[in-house]
Structure 1
Amino acid sequence: MIEAVGLTKRYGDKTAVYNLSFQVRPGAVTGFLGPNGSGKSTTMRMILGLDNPTAGHVTIGGYPYRRLPNAPRQVGALLDAKAVHGGRSARNHLLSLAQLSGIPARRVDEVLGVVGLHQVAGRRSKGFSLGMGQRLGIAAALLGDPQVLLFDEPVNGLDPEGILWVRNLMKSLAAEGRTVFVSSHLMSEMALTADHLIVIGRGQLLADMSVKDFISANSADFARVRTPDTEPQQREKLSAAITEAGGHVLPEQDGALRVTGLPLPRISDIAHDTGVRLWELSPHQASLEEAYMRMTQGAVDYRSTTDQKAGLQQPLPPDVQPPMPVPGQGQPGWYAPPPPQQGGQPFTVPQGAPQAPAGPYGAPGAPAANPYAQAAPQAPQAPAAPPAAPPTAPTASDVTKPEDAR
């Protein structure tokens, strides 16, 4: 389990992440979404101990990454697939990582087979395509058979077959009780892969809920109703009855009706009671992409002139920037951790966490939520939090972009 509490990161006068709190639970694929420059890469770097937070803390299984015993065998990550010595072959690259972490050499060939690079294992990585480099990066993340996995844009450069393979891989890893945290800009893939979403904008939390709840909270569900085209009076009759029952009816260009405010069974009953035949009665919901665009349109820092002409919302000037909204608060699946306290402790791991199957290097039945309990029975005291962050949220001009944060 990954837990972030009050996470803040500043680079000089620039704020990349501001008071960010969330949990990534085992047994599910958690998608990490946000516009360019929202702080996703910075957050992942803080999780892995590559950057120190200015305030707050983040733990994996209850411990900071740097205090995990043999961390590469506990946590696997893909942040930059190009971080490979081009003169080394795929096998030698993985073999060097395995030797540094005390992983048996036989595991190298296992993961090469998993990612489909076994036939090119002897080729130098500088000759690899973008997709092959991604597969090699995924192999490195899987090398230690870890319980916690982080992937930043894992399908970048992959063909459709490769994208499907990554999707199935993420789901299978989560089904084994592992913690899987995936950052991506492909909404269609997140809709098919993720079970839960964490959405940030300008370094702040926008949503932390299931995919279904996220779409419902950021779109208007409606029912599409169609009556026989040759009987317009039937449509008018049904429209009046639905309005009388408390529904809202809007005509569509093809003659159908868009109904909101009533469930489908109720609409069917009204049509039956009024003697109106239906040609269509179907539920409609926005896609994840539409819901995401609606939520984050005010947190996008770069707009083309074409967007301006189309009337898309622009970021407000820094002096009038409102606090970020938090859609979905109070709905099922909403999670709001307490604010960080001076000298506070990480969250305790809930009892009854799902059990992960034993890997080739792990003890059987190790709890997926805290696979490090036996190796480090005493949780170290968390360092005292720095002075509280200013009450005002960072403005658009204060937020660093990924290329700056890296």
Structure 2
Amino acid sequence: MIEAVGLTKRYGDKTAVYNLSFQVRPGMVTGFLGPNGSGKSTTMRMILGLDNPTAGHVTIGGHPYRRLPSAARHVGALLDAKAVHGGRSARNHLLSLAQLSGIPQRRVDEVLGVVGLQDVARRRSKGFSLGMGQRLGIAAALLGDPQVLLFDEPVNGLDPEGILWVRNLMKSLAAEGRTVFVSSHLMSEMALTADHLIVIGRGQLLADMSVRDFISANSADFARVRTPEGEQQQREKLTSALTEAGGHVLPELDGALRVTGLPLPRISELAHSADVRLWELSPHQASLEEAYMRMTQGAVDYRSTTDQKAGFAQPPAPGAQPPTPVPGQGQPGWYAPPPPQQFGPGPQGAPAAAPHGAPANPYAQPGPAAPQGAPNPYAAPTPQPAPAQPPSAAPSAPPAPSSAGPGGPAPSADAVAAASGPADLTQRDSEDNR
């Protein structure tokens, strides 16, 4: 049996575990639950003598771990499956542990068979997968055939078959009268494996009770009641009868009724007395995960915030100039250019016409095929003299020359500059032709 009394551990100003007292009894699987940073690993390290408590004490079978004679034969532990020399084979790793603890060599081959690593026993552990490493760590914990076993996340990295194997292994070890203490974040596995729970939050004890009592104490049990569909009068009649009897009735989204405050036999009697047919009358109990979340919601240190992608944008530097607007952006017919691979290979038609007064859009989608004999809109432009502007009139921006059709390159900086202000298009066209 493991017994902790007033266990406290401080690291400088941080208190990892505070005044923690509990017992882990033999003959059952005891789950050790708590949010990240709640002190579970620190507690296990103090149980195994790896960390000295600041206050309080913890014993195994009435003795501190360090005073146990031949501790490996009394206590087996899996805290970190990666704590293996990568250059050693699985068999040599276990053999070295056995020799240090005076365990017979034949036991090494036995535990390799128990965890299913007998076929890879001579392979170096650095080539093991995460699940194989977990199996090797479990084999090391079982090496001395101990009466007390501690496992920290034993199913981490295992496939469904491996998880089922670990579940059955824990139950069989407890059935033999051993003390099994398991820390895990998988609530579904704890619900299927553990008989008793010890829950801590921020280093303090939150619960020490059976799984059944823990779920009942941290959830609201209710009954689901369903009347025949389309018979609204029967539903209303049943709701009235249940409410008058002291029940609390809430409608659910699927048309059923959630009833609290009345046991199932009483609900059945009331429905029969009111001459209401029932299509469903079933009890509902919260899962271990729901009960755990309700218990520990105030002891979670690491919470996620809403993922606001706008928050990743860097604020503009002081004095930075606003970006130059793209010509035509925001006007009717303008849109962002699609990826280049979306354009067809080669010109099949003329580009879409720009709105009146707007510069030509070099990314406009191709229109219908031009009739035979029509001028090629993708040919090099013919030099045109710039139209005379009256001195008093503001110069209008002439269309930018379209030098790229569908599938062609993006407009150059010169083309953008030409579209944004007056320029000598005759000289620019002459340069392009050259």
For the criterion TM > 0.5, the same-fold answer is yes
Between the aligned partners of 2:30 and 2:119, the Cα distance in structure 1 is 32
Q: How far apart are residue 307 of structure 1 and its match?
A: 8.8
1:18-33 equivalences in 2 (<5 Å): 18-33=18-33
SS of the residue aligned with 1:267? helix
1:2-401 equivalences in 2 (<5 Å): 2-306=2-306
Between the aligned partners of 2:307 and 2:237, the Cα distance in structure 1 is 41
Question: In structure 2, do the counterparts of structure 1 residues 262 and 307 end up closer, same or farther at CA, with 3 Å as the change threshold?
Answer: farther
5+ long unaligned stretches in structure 2: 309-434
Kindly indicate whether structure 1 or structure 2 has the higher relative contact order, using CA contacts under 8 Å at least 6 residues apart: 1
SS of the residue aligned with 2:36? coil
Question: In structure 2, do the counterparts of structure 1 residues 307 and 183 end up closer, same or farther at CA, with 3 Å as the change threshold?
Answer: farther
5+ long unaligned stretches in structure 1: 309-406
Between the aligned partners of 1:266 and 1:218, the Cα distance in structure 2 is 24
Identical aligned pairs, as a percentage?
93
> 1:385 aligns to what?
none
Between the aligned partners of 2:74 and 2:22, the Cα distance in structure 1 is 20
Between the aligned partners of 2:307 and 2:17, the Cα distance in structure 1 is 27
Q: How far apart are residue 270 of structure 1 and its match?
A: 1.0
Q: How far apart are residue 230 of structure 1 and its match?
A: 2.3
Between the aligned partners of 2:65 and 2:181, the Cα distance in structure 1 is 15
Q: Deviations over 1:181-211 (max 9, x none)?
A: 0000111111111111100000000011111
SS of the residue aligned with 1:104? coil
Between the aligned partners of 2:262 and 2:97, the Cα distance in structure 1 is 58
Between the aligned partners of 1:251 and 1:304, the Cα distance in structure 2 is 32
Q: Deviations over 1:273-317 (max 9, x none)?
A: 211111000011111111111111111111121299xxxxxxxxx
Between the aligned partners of 2:153 and 2:121, the Cα distance in structure 1 is 23
Between the aligned partners of 1:53 and 1:40, the Cα distance in structure 2 is 14
Query: Aligned residues, how many?
Result: 308
SS of the residue aligned with 1:30? strand
TM-score by length of 1: 0.75
Between the aligned partners of 1:55 and 1:207, the Cα distance in structure 2 is 21
Between the aligned partners of 1:69 and 1:119, the Cα distance in structure 2 is 34
Q: State the AA in 2 paired with 1:15.
A: T
Point out 4+ residue stretches in structure 1 off by more than 4 angstroms. none
Between the aligned partners of 1:159 and 1:52, the Cα distance in structure 2 is 36
Q: How far apart are residue 254 of structure 1 and its match?
A: 1.7
Q: How far apart are residue 269 of structure 1 and its match?
A: 1.1
Q: Deviations over 1:201-248 (max 9, x none)?
A: 000000111111111111111000001112111111111111111111
Q: Deviations over 1:301-334 (max 9, x none)?
A: 11121299xxxxxxxxxxxxxxxxxxxxxxxxxx
Q: Deviations over 1:131-185 (max 9, x none)?
A: 0000000000000000000000000010111111101100110111100000001
